[in-house]
Amino acid sequence: MSAYLELCRQAKRHHNLRHLLTFAAIDRATVMPPKGGEARAEAMAELEGMLHRESRDPAMADLLRAAEAEPLDAAERANLREIQRGHRLALAVPDSLVESRVRATARCEAGWQLQRPANDWQGFLENFREVVRLARSEARHLADASGLAPYDAMLDLYEPGVRSAELDLLFGDLRGWLPGLVQKVRDRQSSERVLAPAGPFTAEAQRALNRAVMERLGFDFEAGRLDTAVHPFCGGVQDDIRVTTRYREADFLHSLYATIHETGHARYEQGLPREWPGQPIALPRSMGIHESQSLAFELQLGLRKSFVEFLAPLIASHFGPQDAFEPENLHRHLTRVAPDKIRVDADELCYPAHVMLRYTIERALIEGEIEPEDIPALWDEQMRDLLGVDTRGDYRDGCLQDTHWAEGVFGYFPCYTLGAIYAAQWFACIQREAPELDSRIVSGDFSAVVGWLDRAIWSQGSRWETRELVTRASGEPINPAHFRAHLEARYLG
């Protein structure tokens, strides 16, 4: 057997084992009883450890070298590039560090569950210092292996190829115009009269509405499910995708838009290429590209006036008629801009500020320029400067609000805003190709959107590195001008 085929066989084996890990995690997040937690964590760590050890196997380096010299076509070369990347990343981080990290982040995350509601920053800090120490060590190992700066090496785990120098330019651009835009829009909206939908809305009725909208968006229920979880997510494998949402009886729009967001992630997974089952080339490109699919659905499509016009009668048919469901009013309600403390509840205009502040802090933390105890003061300062929001003394809805850092995930936050910028870029293309887009959307015909995303992104998998994928899809590298034009058109147009 050729070295390349042997590598493919191993990749397929790891893919199959990861399949089971994924469903162990989904079960934990949806239906596992609390007492199952410890044993599940142990079982998952065992399998995770085994996969890590196998990915570092010295025999793999020989196979990779041999495969390099074999006659491969372009797709096989791209697949080999992705296999090499996995091996390089696994080789960079020692087993002992992976194990310590699993333990430290599990402890920190479990503590956070109680410390966040108690506003207990000092208690959190005791566990968090160790998480930061290990994350810095991981970043240093990855940096040594790649030649990148430590934070860039972490960023590269989630958004391969993107560096903080590029983020500084993108976010510097946003910082220049976004706060002024937020102010202008707020002034303009202050005189608007908006009716909020009046609940309660039962979870059953919300679930039926969510399913109906998912069906219209082309989600394949023969290859996926909609379930309930505390934090909405999308996970699974191509032919078994689990979308989750949560229900608040007072506000069905929260659940509906979370569902539309996760459906964007799900359709990306369901639309990945089928020619290379279990191979890395057939996997999603990056977290930023993944987020660009969910935000293409939730914000670009979901908040268009034409989509709200399509949605309004569907909403009324599930909950009965209300004046608030009149499309014009519903759209004003959905596009209300109000700076606040919580990232996941932030509107489209304020969201990037939440990301930029986390980026500034986590980068300084990983680079060793600040210590964990410096976080709250920096948080307060940035929230004041970027959004005019006072978070002093409120750790619960301040720097303790997310789980990312407790879980040792540093370098992920920028992907949310990269996704928003990419999504605006995709829609600029879709709009150009389909000038009659909105009249089609009103009637529930999303083929122009879905067709473009499928052709340009989903079907490409990991065939191209991110920069090339973006340029092939849209004719240019990432360009925040589309994001700005989109926001100005929607909120000031």
The catalytic residues are 262
How large is the angle between the packed helices 447-456 and 414-433, nearest 10 degrees? 120
Paired tokens of 242: 């689990």
Q: How far is the CB of 255 from Zn ion (least distance, A)?
A: 15
Q: How far is the CB of 415 from Zn ion (least distance, A)?
A: 9
Which residue number, 279 or 294, has a Cβ lying nearer to Zn ion?
A: 294
Which residue number, 63 or 289, has a Cβ lying nearer to Zn ion?
A: 289
Q: Under a CB-based contact definition with an 8 Å cutoff, are residues 441 and 304 in contact?
A: yes
Torsion of CA 83, 85, 88, 89, to 10 degrees: -110
Round the CA-based radius of gyration of the chain to a whole number and report it: 23
Which residue number, 115 or 417, has a Cβ lying nearer to Zn ion?
A: 417
Judged by CB under 5 A, the stretch of 41-49, 294-302, 313-321, 447-455 that binds Zn ion is 294-302
Q: With contacts defined by CB under 5 A, how many residues of the chain interact with Zn ion? A: 1
| Cα(137)–Cα(262) distance, integer angstroms | 33
Q: How far is the CB of 262 from Zn ion (least distance, A)?
A: 7
Which residue number, 295 or 441, has a Cβ lying nearer to Zn ion?
A: 295
Q: Does 329 participate in binding Zn ion (rule CB under 5 A)?
A: no
Judged by CB under 5 A, the stretch of 54-62, 175-183, 293-301, 457-465 that binds Zn ion is 293-301
Q: How far is the CB of 261 from Zn ion (least distance, A)?
A: 6
Residues 6 or more apart in contact with residue 99 via CB below 8 angstroms: 45, 49
Q: How far is the CB of 6 from Zn ion (least distance, A)?
A: 36
**CB-side neighbour CA atoms (13 Å) of 446:** 23
Q: Under a CB-based contact definition with an 8 Å cutoff, are residues 443 and 265 in contact?
A: no
SS3 186: helix
| Cα(403)–Cα(409) distance, integer angstroms | 9
Q: Does 300 participate in binding Zn ion (rule CB under 5 A)?
A: no
Judged by CB under 5 A, the stretch of 101-109, 208-216, 271-279, 291-299 that binds Zn ion is 291-299
Q: Tell me, residue by residue from 437 to 476, as one string, x for binding to Zn ion by CB under 5 A and - for no binding.
A: ----------------------------------------
Which residue number, 63 or 349, has a Cβ lying nearer to Zn ion?
A: 349
| Cα(133)–Cα(200) distance, integer angstroms | 47
- The end-to-end CA distance of the chain, in Å, is 62
Place of tokens 């069905």: 252
Q: How far is the CB of 294 from Zn ion (least distance, A)?
A: 4
| Cα(72)–Cα(68) distance, integer angstroms | 8
Q: Tell me, residue by residue from 238 to 277, as one string, x for binding to Zn ion by CB under 5 A and - for no binding.
A: ----------------------------------------
Q: Distances from the Cα of 126 to the Cαs of 114, 115, 123, 148, 379, in angstroms?
A: 14, 11, 6, 30, 19
Q: How far is the CB of 291 from Zn ion (least distance, A)?
A: 5
Judged by CB under 5 A, the stretch of 41-49, 170-178, 286-294, 456-464 that binds Zn ion is 286-294
Q: Tell me, residue by residue from 160 to 199, as one string, x for binding to Zn ion by CB under 5 A and - for no binding.
A: ----------------------------------------
| Cα(479)–Cα(482) distance, integer angstroms | 6
E-only strand ranges, 190-274: 224-228, 234-237, 240-245
Which residue number, 101 or 343, has a Cβ lying nearer to Zn ion?
A: 343
Which residue number, 405 or 416, has a Cβ lying nearer to Zn ion?
A: 416
Q: Does 294 participate in binding Zn ion (rule CB under 5 A)?
A: yes
Judged by CB under 5 A, the stretch of 162-170, 187-195, 288-296, 370-378 that binds Zn ion is 288-296
Sites of contact with Zn ion (CB under 5 A): 294
